[in-house]
Amino acid sequence: MLPEIWGSGQGSELLRYALGKLKKNGFRNICLWVMKGNIRARKFYEKNGFQISGNEREIEIAECRVSEVEYIYYG
């Protein structure tokens, strides 16, 4: 998302829409992975009802190792 629209509520609105569609299609618990150091994104998901699961992993992106944490939305 572009910095000029951070805090405008558009991201939360889009996430609520996506979660609604997933729930409508039978999904209840939804997980996603966030880079461990991306505090802004982590706070966003926590504010929108996601909980940290305690699971972590490392992946490789463009030959760089990246640490991620898992979040779960219990719907």
* Structural domain span for residue 34: 28-75
Residue 1: is its pLDDT beyond 70? no
Q: Is residue 5 a part of any domain in this protein?
A: no
Total Cβ atoms within 10 A of residue 19: 17
Q: Is residue 53 a part of any domain in this protein?
A: yes
pTM for the structure as a whole = 0.85
35 CB-near residues (< 8 Å, 6+ apart): 41, 66, 67, 68
Q: Is residue 62 a part of any domain in this protein?
A: yes
Tens of pLDDT, residues 37-66: 999 999 999 999 999 999 999 999 999 999
Q: Is residue 41 a part of any domain in this protein?
A: yes
Report yes or no: 55 and 70 within 8 Å, Cβ to Cβ.
yes
Residue 2: is its pLDDT beyond 80? no
Q: How many domains does the chain have?
A: 1
Q: Is residue 39 a part of any domain in this protein?
A: yes
Q: Is residue 12 a part of any domain in this protein?
A: no
Q: Is residue 10 a part of any domain in this protein?
A: no
Q: Is residue 6 a part of any domain in this protein?
A: no
**Average pLDDT of the residues of the chain:** 92
Residue 34: is its pLDDT beyond 70? yes
